[in-house]
Structure 1
């Protein structure tokens, strides 16, 4: 099946200000975030990308624009299911203030039980994001073949939730996963199981290009030799 490249948006003005942005409108990339986005086309230069899907939020659209500019004919399709978690009443608040909220301990230690006031539960967030991945996997494979690579530009909690699902981890463990702004995470989906091939990668990505799989979809005993 297809390989999914997950790109977290570049550093945003909300990241710099220490705010929980959520779906707050007008949150753009900051200067560093724009530089991170500008570097993305070169990092992915050796990777054929069949389709691009993005969160509809501004910081994600700005992150992938340089990549779209570098690849004429490649267009991004927005999917609200990979948009940021709906943090409800927490949206726009300072993270430093939220640490004193009793719910924060639940978010950190038992996220499957966490539901944001006026927003959504973290279970619902993961469910919609994973549903989007499965839908796009099937669509991309049907249109471009089982070796196709497609990219989703999304948000930290969304990417962590997708990774947890791919690894068979309970949502309560997903806070152990970390992805930096404009980092790349990749999951190769097969008929029997997904494989996490990159997590929070901020370096060279040439090894994500499709290559012959001598294992037949089995796990590489000993870890494998890596990219050629």
Structure 2
């Protein structure tokens, strides 16, 4: 099962340098709308079977063109919504960097709990649980490997990628998730494989799903000769 973690396109809050959080009505700006329109060309040729999105407007707007191109109805999941930043919501970033909590968010995010909001450790737990649950559901529904999109937010994506990498949440600030970027994770019974992080190029490659094992009498690649949950010793030939 392979998930494309898509961050929403650039928003009006991004360009205003404010922390949008769960503020109502934060839409994409002109550049964000362009990025949304480009998504169909970037990933629309891949066999996407489902789109799951955060309930916030900027994610809704981001996936609209892609969903229309693929004739899919996005599923809304609160568990991949933006961090509840509490009283930090809507404030200028320039003000927030002066808060004592800012350094905790930078250096020890696992201990960071936003005033009247939630902690980043809880964000990671809820988001990872949601992604893995959708993975299992889609695998059962389609009886095999499925490629799907989860449109969410920067800190949420970084937390999910950190979990897939097996790194502590305190290192998640080393991961980048720009507006309209995609990060790709393939989950297997043994381990996740992180295929892309912060991909902002024109088009994703088509080789995101595991290569099928060769049938009798056929030669296979190194990847095809090993179980899909195993890594190729010496590195992939792709």
Do these two structures clear the TM 0.5 threshold for a shared fold by scoring above it?
Answer: yes
**1:22 equivalenced with 2:21 (yes/no):** yes
Could you tell me which residue of structure 1 aligns to residue 164 of structure 2?
166
| 3-state DSSP of counterpart to 1:142 | helix
Closer, same or farther: CA 196–125 of 1 in aligned 2, 3 Å = same
Mapped contact 1:47–1:208 kept (Cα < 8 A): no
Match of 1:155 among 129, 153, 156: 153
User: Deviations for 1:90-113, whole angstroms, at most 9, x for unmatched residues?
Assistant: 000011110000000000000011
Q: Structure 1: how far apart are the matches of 2:208 and 2:117?
A: 38
Q: Structure 2: how far apart are the matches of 1:16 and 1:184?
A: 20
| 3-state DSSP of counterpart to 1:206 | coil
User: Deviations for 1:171-213, whole angstroms, at most 9, x for unmatched residues?
Assistant: 0000000011101111000000000001111112133443334
Could you tell me which residue of structure 2 aligns to residue 55 of structure 1?
54
Could you tell me which residue of structure 2 aligns to residue 33 of structure 1?
32
Mapped contact 2:44–2:69 kept (Cα < 8 A): no
Ranges of 4+ aligned residues in structure 1 off by more than 2 Å: 206-213, 220-223
Which structure ranks higher in relative contact order (CA pairs < 8 Å, sequence separation ≥ 6)?
Answer: 1
Where do 1:72-87 residues align within 5 Å? 72=71, 74-87=72-85
Q: Structure 1: how far apart are the matches of 2:235 and 2:139?
A: 27
User: Deviations for 1:135-159, whole angstroms, at most 9, x for unmatched residues?
Assistant: 1111010101331111100000000
Q: Structure 1: how far apart are the matches of 2:52 and 2:101?
A: 32
Could you tell me which residue of structure 2 aligns to residue 69 of structure 1?
68
Mapped contact 2:2–2:208 kept (Cα < 8 A): no
Aligned residues: 224
Mapped contact 1:84–1:154 kept (Cα < 8 A): yes
Gaps in structure 1 of 5+ consecutive residues: none
User: Deviations for 1:99-132, whole angstroms, at most 9, x for unmatched residues?
Assistant: 0000000000000110000100111111110110
Q: Structure 2: how far apart are the matches of 1:70 and 1:61?
A: 15
**1:186 equivalenced with 2:184 (yes/no):** yes
TM-score (normalised: structure 2): 0.91
Mapped contact 1:55–1:79 kept (Cα < 8 A): yes
Closer, same or farther: CA 53–151 of 1 in aligned 2, 3 Å = same
